[in-house]
Chain A
């Protein structure tokens, strides 16, 4: 018996397949959307828009890497919403508003986007990082993306994500060690 492809599936099966791809990724989509929009309300709206686009594009999805597929759609949806909101903005000006493209405040890695500060010491250490270091920490450590997924979001090679992450964590470690972290003896 031949396995049905997404294009030949009935409406119900199509929805079931979509749910299987999407439900495990909703948390990470929402986290990244918050980082992009810096607004909980707008983030939920952005995720909904991206989900509708993803559902309409389901026939073209090969079923591999659903998280990367969804994050690409999320990012493109965010880009289109920005463009719609500011139609007079030139393409390169718009690109500056995306994460990893310039030092615009909307890169979502500002102090407020770094977490709720459960530990003031760690929070201070993160605040002290440069934007490009904060970006990788935010995407990998706080949002839970892989190196490749973070690289796609930032438009940089995965090797650069790895090296920036290494430097960023080393700086956090220095900050924590200067405050006595990990130096107690048992």
Chain B
């Protein structure tokens, strides 16, 4: 039997990122993936012939130049000039505003006062998020991982904040735990703009705009960048698939061996040390180190199992919140959609339907009681209008993210799915007439479908809630936040670990660094 230095479970982008780093350091790496293709939640699949629809993730805004360089993505097919996507916030009567890079706006529908206040607010939030951003590429501090240089970094960050002046210093501590709605209402009048920012702050987590700490979501979004350009959202040339391919090609050329269609069932343990994995079909693979990039829930409770975990740890893991609330609707259209409110050029934007803060909050309310929103908030992207290679000429793909759709619906998804899709389409019809008629294929993925298709318990974007009680040192739990586990030589990475979800590759890189540090 072949034996490897490191076995990585899951060929999502983080699993691939870690594999690349490890293979480049001379380790013999095996990457096991349960599906038939790489990419995990960033993968694409044709919904019908020739329509290359991004199954879940459809935009990139957390891929830093450091990740791109360390993983050699440019060398393996990631273009340097990609599509930068502006955002439009629209309501059902067609009124809209638009913003581009890092929420800059020259929209004529915004008052000059709003523009001024927006600029000031974003500048402040950008500063605040830049402080948090310093810690992205660090293995978080915990009892097993505290060094003088880490302490120094905290001290220096605190100092830099203080040196920014009394006002910024006070504002940071005043704002950091606030809800996004209160912050926006202090500064901005325009409902569409507030709706957009509140939507971005709450998308992907179980918080409404009026839930305390929801500003954190917006800070996380603003901390994003693409290849050095701060606050932009990008559709890579050739679609998300192109980016995933770049990850994969980089991994292959680094010497990573990849096996698809192998679902890991359990770890092989010797005393308290992992020595390999066993797959569902009984195959065994041996390795000195195992790195799991799948959800921590799955790694700990399925691969290791509650019987092998200390009760205290088990209690903490069982308290993780990992039920997703975002659904995805992918459409194949035989005609390019049009809108009387938006110019054709504007259809190349990310179009957000979140007309006001209250509208989002009203949609969040039923989700608390496991019910569906009546008029859900949407993020609509037509990737094939932006990049025409993604669908046959004259046709289009619509990629729609639907917010506040609980995983464990009271009435069950089977009963509600069709009517819910119908509601969404009728709403879209108001903005894009004839859209419904041009549908040739529909794919709807509720959180529970995402759970099944992508093997993520709860179908959560971030594997587990990315709220302030589960960030940095507390992600996924304090004891294991530096990518280690209670089992010797078993490590974790992925969205469930620091810094969280989004296609950044950071947790993969961090965990690989941690492995290299511990096993020189």
A and B: interacting chains:
no
Residue ranges of A at the interface with B (Cβ–Cβ < 8 Å):
none
